Chain A
Amino acid sequence: MTHTPLRIGLIGAGGISNSHLPHLLTLGADVYVYSEVGAAELVARYGGTVVDRLDELLASVDFVDVATPTFTHHALVKRALEAGKHVISEKPLARTDAEVDELAALADELGLMLFPAHVVRFFPEYVLLKEAVASGRLGDLAVLRFSRSGAFPTRTPWFADRALSGGIIMDQMIHDIDIARWVAGPVERVSAVSSKAGDATVPVEAAHVLLTHSSGAISHIAGIWGPSHLPFTTEYSVTGTEGSLAHSSAAERNYIAHLANTNGPSGLLPEVDPAENPYFAELREFTNAFGGGPVPRVSAAEGAEAVRLANAALLSLETGQPVEVHTPSAQAIGK
């Protein structure tokens, strides 16, 4: 652990930065924020220091947290690594296979830490699943179902552009793709179907992804970006030869209010218990590692693999056929 405050540069001041900046500050970091737009408003909300230029940011910090739109991750992470900084990157690590391969290799080569922010690995219900599987309590996994459903992110236009964001599969379903691979192991085949409806102002998008794991286990991942009133919900149901484990965020609630005047739940982010905030737990684990602490539960190679699987699903949409996945990094990502 380091004794001096971590000096962290946060790049980006959009939606997800609201789930980074306050936690970085709580962790005692000095946070410098650079963003093309919104840095002043974000800092006014939580604290930190606005920096006007990326150069200046990189000169002021030891670590960089990239929380920008997906299509900008590659250039920014690369620049931060080349400046000698350890890096946290929002998921997906980058948009294309070539980009993630380059970033993972570059971090390795430079001996720098690079952590993709797969925050679902820090949600307690998914940690329990991982532990139940790892302990052998569920036996040999046979069939896994994951579902993630919420409002279409319309606050900024890039989400709707599949070339920029990778659509719902690369942006939202990559969480469960990563979890499925985390708990059931390497994936050999991916297929996907998707649909879109609505219009430019009220779009919706859905996809179903099927994974065949090397173990023979099969996974279904369902994603919905629905209308704006749709609450954010997640589900999983995992069955093995010795047992099963299932969770539904809509069913497992410890606070149910029916008040006349109240804000409804967000359709964009899951509800979390502030005493056990997964975004905080994630950033604590990453920043602890920066300070010499234990190796975090998610690596750059695993973030890269999640991107490759999401891109295989996108390729399956194009070809209309399942896609065989070659996992040269299977050993690298084995933990």
Chain B
Amino acid sequence: MRTPDRPLKIAVMSFAHTHARGYIELLKNIPSVSLLTSDPGEHPAAELRGRAFAEHLGIDYVDSYDELMAWQPDAVIVTSENARHRADVERAAKAGAHILCEKPLATSHDDGVAMLEAADAAGVILMVAFPVRFASTFARLKAEYDSGQLGQVFSVRGSNNGRLPSERAWFTDPALSGGGALVDHVVHIADLLEALMGAAPVSVTAVTNQKLHAERARAETAGLVTISYDNGVIAAIDCSWSQPDTAPTWGGVSVTVAGTAGTVAVDFFGPRARGLDTATGLPIEEPYGPNFDEALLSTFIDAVCSGKQPQPDGRVGLRTLDIVLAAQESARTGRTVAVSKG
């Protein structure tokens, strides 16, 4: 990681998203980074949030965003509830800070557009946190795609399955999350396809239900989405929260890309050591491999130092959000829906 001349001041807005912890754990070990956090507001009693969470992680904390912005951070990481991304990004942009925003970019197209405009107007970087495209396996897939070893790609299928998020209640409150499994999981694979092909999504069809985790579900917990792209490629994504709470791991992300010269299948979190628990007979699964968040943060910090906009940028965030919004409309109406042209 590049070392800037003075400590880089990075602020974390909100501990709402569970990824905040992962970013903080990585950032606090970088000597050239000075970290300050804030998580204001009322929080569910059962959740470790606010100052208590900061103390638990051993990091500096202030009670309000006003104090956080008064610190004049070079960069801000927005890990608030999806529906609050817009307000937080606008605030960070106004403070002149470069921004890394948790995915999905927002919960409405208008919010997304406003965020891009706010970053443009302030002349700051807006990057969206899609870590999977930083996997070395994705770099290999991209290189094989670019060199023509796949031939002409014609079909993709992907799955991003996980547990119903339970550490934070807002994930299953559509008013704050923007929906269910569609909003949580479609964007990761949509981003990979964006990074791979750069093609524009044309139309989307989605089917959903909420049979899984029915007692806690307030939006869809299972979803299947097909996307047609303007380069002729068709894609299908399973975004379901189909991993049970009792599963040995959180879930995973995989894609299979088919071209005229062959196929490549990538299981991004696949490699693991496997065993059995003697007492219960339950599987032991210990995944291993690099932490993609490290490369994501490294790219963001390099960009903050250089002032050069990195990928995935706000436009990618908006285009992947537009796929989600079209999928939601399709699931609601039973129709195939054209993707907003931005």
Residues of chain A whose beta carbon lies under 8 Å from any beta carbon of chain B? 140-143, 145, 147, 149, 189, 191, 193-198, 202, 204-208, 210-212, 216-220, 222, 224, 226-227, 229-230, 237, 239-241, 243-244, 320-322
CB-defined contacts of B184 to chain A, threshold 8 Å: none
A residues in contact with B159, CB < 8 Å: 145, 237
- The total of Cβ contacts below 8 Å across the A-B interface reads 130
Known contacts A145-B159, A210-B207, A244-B242; A197 and B154 CB within 8 A of each other: yes
Q: How many residues on the B side are at the interface (Cβ–Cβ under 8 A)?
A: 40
Q: Are B211 and A195 in contact (CB under 8 A)?
A: no
B244: chain A residues at CB < 8 Å are: 243-244
Cα of A230 to Cα of B236 in the assembled complex, Å: 20
Q: Which residue in chain B gives the minimum CB-CB distance to A152?
A: B260
CB A193 to nearest CB in B, in angstroms, measures 4
In the complex, are the beta carbons of A208 and B155 less than 8 A apart?
yes
Q: Which of B185-193, B218-226, B290-298 contacts A (4 or more CB under 8 A)?
A: B218-226
Return the CB mask of B147-162 against A: 1 if under 8 Å, else 0: 0000110110101000
- Closest chain B CB from A228 CB (angstroms): 10
Q: Which of B117-125, B132-140, B227-235 is found at the contact surface with chain A?
A: B227-235
A176: shortest Cβ distance to chain B, in Å?
13
User: Shortest distance in angstroms between B224's beta carbon and chain A's nearest beta carbon?
Assistant: 4
When distances are taken between beta carbons in the complex, the residues of chain A under 8 Å from B223 are 143, 218
CB neighbours (8 Å) of B262 from chain A are 226-227, 229-230
Q: Smallest Cβ distance from B203 to chain A, in angstroms? A: 7
Is B299 an interface residue, CB under 8 A from the partner? Answer: no
Answer whether residue B37 sits at the interface, using C-beta atoms and an 8 A cutoff: no
User: A137: shortest Cβ distance to chain B, in Å?
Assistant: 14
Q: Which residues of B contact A141 (CB under 8 A)?
A: 211
Given known A-B contacts A206-B155, A218-B208, A239-B212, A226 and B238 have beta carbons under 8 A apart: no
CB distance from B295 to the nearest CB of A (A): 28
A218 in contact with B212 given A197-B152, A224-B155 (CB within 8 Å): no
Contacts of A198 in B (CB 8 A): 151-152, 260
Closest-CB distance, B277 to chain A (whole angstroms) = 18
The minimal Cβ–Cβ distance linking A147 to chain B, given in whole angstroms, is 7
* Interface 1/0 per residue, B253-266 and A, CB below 8 Å: 00010111111000
* A-chain residues with CB within 8 Å of residue B238 when the two chains form the complex: 143, 145, 220, 237
Establish whether residues B236 and A220, one from each chain, have CB atoms under 8 Å apart when the complex forms.
yes
Task: Select one of A193, A202, A211, A219 contacting B234, CB under 8 A.
Answer: A193
Bound-state Cα–Cα, A194 to B155, Å: 8
Whether A322 pairs with B222 at a CB distance below 8 angstroms is no
Chain A residues with CB under 8 A of B212: 142-143, 239, 241
B203 engages A320 (CB within 8 Å)? yes
User: Of the candidates A143, A204, A230, which one forms a contact with B224 in the assembled complex, judged by CB atoms under 8 Å apart?
Assistant: A143
Are A222's CB and B157's CB within 8 A? yes
B209 CB–A CB distance under 8 Å: yes
Residues of B within 8 A of A230 (CB): 262-263
